[in-house]
Structure 1
Amino acid sequence: MRVNTYTLLGADGRSYESTEPGTFGGHRGGRVYGRLDCPSALRAIERGGYVTHRVFFADEATALAAGYRPCGTCLRERYRSWKASASPNSPV
Structure 2
Amino acid sequence: MARQNRVTPEGQIIAVPTRGMFMGNRGILHDAEGRIVTPFRLRAWICCLTSFKGRQRKVMSPGHYTELFFLDEATALAAGHRPCAECRRADYNRFRAAWARARLGDDPRAPEIDRMLHTARIRPRTHEKLVHRAPWQGLPDGAMVRLTNGPALVLGPHLLPWTAGGYAAALPRPGTGDAAVLTPAPIVATLSAGYAPELHSSAGAMSQSR
- TM-score normalized with structure 2 length: 0.34
1:5 aligns with 2:2: yes
In 1, the alpha carbon distance for the partners of 2:96 and 2:66 equals 23
Q: Where do 1:7-86 residues align within 5 Å?
A: 7-28=5-26, 29=42, 30-39=44-53, 42=55, 51-86=64-99
CA gap 1:51/1:25 in 2 versus in 1, 3 angstroms? farther
Conservation of the 8 A alpha-carbon contact between 1:33 and 1:63: yes
1:91 aligns with 2:113: yes
Percent same amino acid at aligned positions? 27
CA offset digits 1:49-78 (Å, max 9, x no partner): 973343221211111111111112222221
Amino acid across the alignment from 2:87:
C
CA offset digits 1:4-59 (Å, max 9, x no partner): 524301111101222211321112122111101234xx49x69x897334322121
Higher relative contact order, chain-length normalized (CA < 8 Å, sep 6+): 1
CA gap 1:31/1:49 in 2 versus in 1, 3 angstroms? farther
In 1, the alpha carbon distance for the partners of 2:84 and 2:66 equals 15
Task: Give the number of equivalent residue pairs.
Answer: 85
3-state SS of 2:65 partner: helix
Amino acid across the alignment from 2:73:
E
Conservation of the 8 A alpha-carbon contact between 1:34 and 1:70: yes
> Which consecutive residues of structure 2, in runs of 5 or more, have no partner in the other structure?
27-41, 115-210
> Which consecutive residues of structure 1, in runs of 5 or more, have no partner in the other structure?
none
- TM-score normalized with structure 1 length: 0.70
Amino acid across the alignment from 1:85:
A
CA gap 1:85/1:60 in 2 versus in 1, 3 angstroms? same
Computing the radius of gyration from Cα coordinates, the structure with the larger value is 2
